[in-house]
Amino acid sequence: MKEKQHSIAVYGLGNSTKEILKRAGNHVHIVGLLDGYRTEGEMYGMPILSMEELPARNVTAVLVAARPASKRIIVNRIAGFCKAHGIKIIDAEGNELSVRAAGSPVSFTAGTDRREIMDKMDAHEVISFDVFETLLMRRTLYPSDVFEMVERMGMTRMPSFAKERQVAEWELGRKAALLGRIPGLDEIYGYLAEKNGLTAAETERLKRAELEVEKRLAEPRREICGLLRYAVEQGKKVYLVSDMYLSAEQIGELLKKCGITGYEKILVSCECGTGKEGALFSFLREEVGTASVLHLGDSKEADAEAPARYGMDGILLPNALDLFEKSGLSGKLDRQDTLEERVKLGMFLARFFNSPFLSDTGRRAVREPEDLGYLLFASMLTDFTVWLWQRVKESGEKTVLFGARDGFLIRQMFDVLQEKAGHAAEGLYFLTSRTSAVFAGIRKEEDVDDAVGMGFGGSRKEMLRTRFLLTEEEMEKCGGEAAKEKSLILEKADEKRMNYLTYVRKLGLEKGKKAFFDFVSTGTCQLALEKLFGEKMQGYYFMRLMEAGSGGEKKQLRIHGFYPSPSREKPEGIYGDYLILENILTSPDPSLQEFDRDGRPVYLPEHRSEGELSFLGKVHAGILSYFREYLDLWESGAAGRTFAWEGLTGSRELSEMMLGLVHGIPVENEVFLGMEWTDSFYGRKAGIRELL
């Protein structure tokens, strides 16, 4: 140990800490111990502290005493607090530890080649697999997140169930270890009940809730499951070996839910009384006799070195968290303070790092449109839709008009949430566009002046043709005289407004509290529609723009923005990326130009190819798949009651980071890269490659 100038707190309560204290003697000033779930009491003659106590005790370094995998988790959890208080994080040798620095992904190299593994399987009679992080993974970062999700369900009167559940497992585990046993879930809950005065019914309900959450979070690692199927097809006997407090029957239920079958038996530590690094593989040896065994797992100590002591070969398959750390993406997605963030990261890992193998191209990249929607865009749109639903519920609007074309997908997401949460507001996809709405709102010359004065990326002639639908013949008759042009526009506006009202009447909209969704806007459409309806609406925007010169009427609009208007000094991040999202949100129909006399829509020519439209439909499917999956994870098992909606917008910064990956992660889809963002009303366009 090199660090002698610091006042140190040691993180960890295991044997490593005991050894560190023995070695430190009087040479290092250790003020106390830290733990993830114990914040009081004492161990090894030292007080157990909370993180919040460290500054007052002048702690300048936290020494992490844990295995490599646990060390990474601990560092990630305490890094923010330590950085804020100037506290170093070190290992037993005094080396400084930190979360991997942000930067472009540096490596997507996986472990062993798939074909090489299959060849080794062919050469053995018995194949065994680790279960968790090998065949199965959870759609969250850490196993303890399961307990926090149970607490969120509101199925217990215990105010700190997650903490007490971990304490019970740890304390009982230490006691059982002295007797040479490993406790199972029933024993853990029995101990938890005795310590916290739970009734038998409460205890059983909590245990069932934990198993239900495990099932919800469970995700098969598909290509490793494919290796299991290959082994079965080749006539190999397949065993599963797991260090776990769940019984073989309970693990079997998780495997069944994920479609994993064909194995002979599950050998689990809590039933055999010993773990992999103990003598668990001796039970496998008893089962198979002298047959040659190949074991596949993710831990060097437990899945390679331990089976070797019993004459078995081992192959290491990197787990998703290992791949995430080694890729460099952990620095780009370094938000995991809340349970919501850890679930979102878990969902990302379960999709992007599900396979331990590289593709045939030798790269790990986003190629399929469904993956593009799921991995990069869905998190941000999920946060926004939940926020929108909350605002509408609080304000009591009866109808939400989702303005075309950006409202096409958001309205579908809103409806999904409505079905789950039972809120009664009606979501309506409402046909509009800046051109049609501005026309409908023009009643006097000042309105024409305002509409003409809006910026346009082209000539005046192009602006008149695009924005006011003036033909070449009509412009020639006006001879470039502004007064004649204005008179003609006013005449056209009366006709277009009557046509628009015909469309509105067909919808049967009633007077009353209405909300209007727009994605990113100054309020042009909302202002025009308020004039058309003759009533005020509440606007809910992803982002409201406040451009210089916006008229006084726009400033009076009632608009809540998920994001505030960007400043010119800070155009980066979400303020630079929203155009990419805007291009993804659009409907399969072209932009609305106007309505005919019967209130039927007349669209502008479609500039997108059939391939681009098909691509967008698949991206939308990926986003909706993510959204449903995410909401399902947060639904209580108690009579289908949803829960914790108020907390589900607590991951906005992480969602920004995920959206920002579009610039750093390899996106290999030529349809997406070749798309173009257009805004005919303002005469602007840009290629996706320019936006990236």
Gap between the Cα atoms of 25 and 27, Å rounded = 6
Gap between the Cα atoms of 649 and 653, Å rounded = 10
In contact, 128 and 295? CB cutoff 8 Å: yes
pLDDT digit string (tens) for 65-103?
876 546 766 787 788 889 889 999 998 878 888 764 433
* Listed range (256-260, 275-279, 565-569, 675-679) with the worst mean pLDDT: 565-569
Average pLDDT of span 399-426: 90
In contact, 501 and 387? CB cutoff 8 Å: no
**Terminal-to-terminal C-alpha distance of the chain:** 47
Bigger pLDDT: 74 or 470? 470
- Range with top average pLDDT, 175-189, 431-445, 595-609: 595-609
C-alpha 561 chain-centroid distance? 21
Token code pair at residue 155: 């199925």
pLDDT of residue 106: 32
Neighbours of 174 (CB within 10 A): 12
pLDDT of residue 27: 74
Mean predicted lDDT score pLDDT of the chain:
86
pLDDT of residue 110: 44
What is the pLDDT confidence band of residue 335, given thresholds at 50, 70 and 90?
Answer: confident
CA angle in degrees (0–180, nearest 5) for 550-436-378: 80
Gap between the Cα atoms of 599 and 287, Å rounded = 76
The rounded percent of the chain whose pLDDT value lies above 90 is 49
pLDDT digit string (tens) for 109-127?
444 588 889 999 999 999 9
Neighbours of 113 (CB within 10 A): 11
Helices and strands, counts by H and E, the chain? 31, 22
Rg (CA), the chain: 30
* Listed range (98-102, 335-339, 365-369, 518-522) with the worst mean pLDDT: 98-102
pTM of this structure:
0.85
Token code pair at residue 349: 């890992």
Residue 294 has what DSSP assignment?
E
Gap between the Cα atoms of 347 and 150, Å rounded = 18
**Could you tell me where the DSSP H helices lie in 266-406?**
269-272, 280-288, 300, 306-308, 320-327, 329-332, 339-352, 369-372, 378-395
Gap between the Cα atoms of 27 and 444, Å rounded = 86
pLDDT of residue 636: 66
What is the pLDDT confidence band of residue 613, given thresholds at 50, 70 and 90?
Answer: very high
pLDDT of residue 15: 67
What is the pLDDT confidence band of residue 104, given thresholds at 50, 70 and 90?
Answer: very low
What is the pLDDT confidence band of residue 647, given thresholds at 50, 70 and 90?
Answer: low
In contact, 462 and 448? CB cutoff 8 Å: no
What are the two backbone dihedrals, phi and then psi, of residue 89, each rounded to the nearest 5 degrees?
-115, 120
Average pLDDT of span 246-251: 97
* Listed range (100-104, 543-547, 566-570) with the worst mean pLDDT: 100-104
Gap between the Cα atoms of 238 and 236, Å rounded = 6
Q: Give CA separation, 176 vs 42, 108, 646, in Å.
A: 20, 41, 40
Domains of the chain as residue ranges with CATH: 7-90 (3.40.50.20), 114-323 (3.40.50.1000), 398-563 (no CATH)
